[in-house]
Amino acid sequence: MKGWLPFLLVVAIVGVAAHAATVIATPRAIMNVAMTRLAENGGPGWRHAPRTTADARNIVRPSPDLAYSACVYDLADGPMTITMAPSEDYWSLSLYAANSDNFFTRNDRAAREGVAITLVRRGAAPPPGATEVVESPSARGVAIQRRLAPTAGAYAIADAARRGDLCEAFAAR
């Protein structure tokens, strides 16, 4: 039995390390897959999803009653400007870090005129002329718009409202 102790010790050490690494890496890996899917079919900026149908497969558990837009951001090259215009009913802008944490949300009750933020990496100095500055815990992440749109008519209104929204490299205005 004594001869097996080093063997069992190695099994235990490798097992604990692999267990911890898997738990920590899982949300990042799933987010990476989601960000890759969301960034497909075009360059940077908002991707306005068509009305959610039974065929939607980009993100698990989508709501068919909401109009979604997504922007995969990368702060490696500097701050970004993210804007969201208001629409008639409920809407919100939410930001997710690379580990899937929802670190920022603003809805129509808190910002009736819409949202315009400058997104910077945590600890980075905000650029001159920046509007409301929000710090991201990670360089990459996802911004998501949700607009209440339970009918085709409501979806058309929400869709029109979001067409001028920005998600791009910061430039002083």
- Would you tell me which residues interact with another protein (CB under 8 A)? 7-8, 10-24, 26-27, 30-31, 34, 52-57, 59-65, 89-90, 92, 94, 96, 99-103, 105, 107, 109, 142, 144, 148, 150-151
- Minimum CB separation from another protein for residue 4, in Å? 10
Closer to another protein by CB, 74 or 101: give it.
101
d(CA 50, CA 56): 9
Closer to another protein by CB, 10 or 156: give it.
10
Closer to another protein by CB, 59 or 166: give it.
59
Within the chain, strands assigned E span: 47-48, 66-74, 80-84, 91-97, 102-107, 115-121, 132-136, 140-148, 167-169
- Minimum CB separation from another protein for residue 39, in Å? 14
Asked if 31 and 98 count as a contact pair (C-beta separation under 8 A), the reply is: yes
- Minimum CB separation from another protein for residue 128, in Å? 29
Closer to another protein by CB, 125 or 151: give it.
151
Nearest to 168 by CA among 85, 78, 88: 78
Residue 80: Cβ-neighbour burial (10 angstroms; 0-12, 13-18, 19+):
buried
